[in-house]
Amino acid sequence: MHIGKAATRTIIIIAGIIAMAGAVPIVEATASPDARTTSTIINTNDFAGYAVPSGFTSAQATFKIPRTSCGSAQTGLDPDIDLVGPEGLDSQVGISQFCGTNSWFVYFIINGKQTNSITVAAGNTVTATASETLSLTNLKLKDDTTGASNAVSGPGGTVTSILIGDEANYLSPYAYLPPSRFTTDSFTKVTAGGMSLGLTDPVEAEWVHGKTVWLATSAIQGGNAFTVTFKKN
């Protein structure tokens, strides 16, 4: 659940990097023994996955809902597709888990306004689809395991980049939860603009706290798949 999320550093950093035509992505945070620090990976404070550059306005991804465990601290996790817009006007479709309730639900955000939908279960496979034009936004999530689905539409807007992966669960615009504990989160059949993820020149991002990697992102596999692995919180 992202409340005022576009004010966060992840959006600013990733959008800024990929908006510069021909620029080489850089590492945002200081490296650690757990962090990979090649010129094609950036570290953020609330996202692990891939950022697709400007020029794409739609995306789709299938992922298996991870089984999480909750300790004494509040944690959360939001696997999703995020159509990043200017000045906080993001549109998102995904699932959200908050260890206060330890349950998963589907959420939709269109131009910063959120609605919640059906509940889903850990272990199920879901497919998220998002598209946005200047006049119309369409978001859909289908639980491929049960067949249940829900879709919403609303006003359109501008898409500056697309995030696909695990994002932080936000309590307020500047307060986010550490990630819940899980093993791996697998994203498959990932496309943007109808193209396989690997053909979109995406930027790889890892969720880093200080000098420690919390969530690590794999290389793209088979052109359209990757995994996010829990390391620490």
Region 1-24 average pLDDT: 44
**CA dihedral (192, 195, 201, 203) positive or negative:** positive
- Give me the pLDDT at residue 128, please: 98
Rg (CA), the chain: 16
Which CATH number belongs to the domain containing residue 197 in this structure? 2.60.120.700
What is the rounded CA–CA span in Å between residue 153 and residue 206?
A: 31
Each residue's pLDDT tens digit, 148-179: 999 999 999 999 999 999 999 877 666 788 89
Neighbours of 122 (CB within 10 A): 15
Three-class SS state of 88: helix
Structure tokens at 150: 């829900």
Count of the separate structural domains present in the chain: 1
- What confidence tier does 107 reach under pLDDT thresholds 50, 70, 90? very high
**Residue 38 above 60 pLDDT?**
no
User: Where is pLDDT greater, at 14 or 111?
Assistant: 111
- Give me the pLDDT at residue 56, please: 97
Judged by average pLDDT, the poorest of 17-26, 98-107, 110-119, 142-151 is 17-26
Three-class SS state of 210: coil
pTM of the predicted model as reported, rounded to 2 decimal places: 0.85
**HSE-up (13 A, CA, CB side) for residue 35:** 27
Judged by average pLDDT, the poorest of 6-10, 44-48, 74-78, 90-94 is 6-10
- Give me the pLDDT at residue 173, please: 64
Contact 42, 23 (CB under 8 A): no
Domain that holds residue 224: 5-230
- Give me the pLDDT at residue 14, please: 53
Residue 163 phi/psi, 5-degree rounding, is -105, 135
Region 52-61 average pLDDT: 96
Amino acid sitting at position 62: T
Residue 60 phi/psi, 5-degree rounding, is -145, 145
Structure tokens at 70: 């909750």
For every residue of 147-196, DSSP letters joined together read: --EEEEEE------EEEEEEEPPEEETTEEPPBPB-SEEEEEEEEETTEE
Amino acid sitting at position 57: T
- Give me the pLDDT at residue 10, please: 54
What is the rounded CA–CA span in Å between residue 99 and residue 179?
A: 10
Q: What number of H helices and E strands is found in the chain?
A: 1, 18
**Residue 233 above 90 pLDDT?**
no
